[in-house]
Structures are given as structure tokens and as C-alpha cells.
Amino acid sequence: MAETAKGPASYFPSIEKKHGRPIGEWQDLIRSSPLTKHMELVSWLKTEHGLGHGHANALVAHTLAEGK
């Protein structure tokens, strides 16, 4: 049986479906941004890329957690 994604990754299928980009592309955008703070990145994704708060938050949280 396939394991169900938990936490921020649980949003990934709907992010890809709604916005038409793979998660890797979103993460590359986040990593290449000069912004470094969580909420700055969330606001940027919402304003510049049209993501909703939940999707932006999930992408930022997951991407920033990879560096820890």
C-alpha cells in the first residue's frame, strides 16, 4: 500500500495540479530568491506567483526544512 504524504508534502499533488508546475520548480524558485525568511517567501509566492496561503506556506516550510 502506498504511504500517504504527511505535513507540507501532503499539499504537493494539489499544488502541481492547480498551478501546473512540478514541486521541484517551486523549490528552485524559493532557493534562488534573495529572500530568506519564511513569511517573506510566503508573501512573495502569493503576490508574485498567485499561490494561496496554504500552498505557499507548505512549499516554503518543506523547502526551508531541507536545509536543516
pTM equals 0.88
Residue 49, pLDDT > 60, answer yes
How many residues are given for the chain? Answer: 68
Q: What is the percent of the chain where pLDDT is above 70?
A: 93
Percent of the chain exceeding pLDDT 90 equals 82
Amino acid 1: pLDDT = 44
Is-contact 23 16, C-beta < 8 A? yes
pLDDT tens figures, 29-39? 999 999 999 99
- The candidate with the shortest Cα–Cα distance to 66, out of 28, 34, 39, is 28
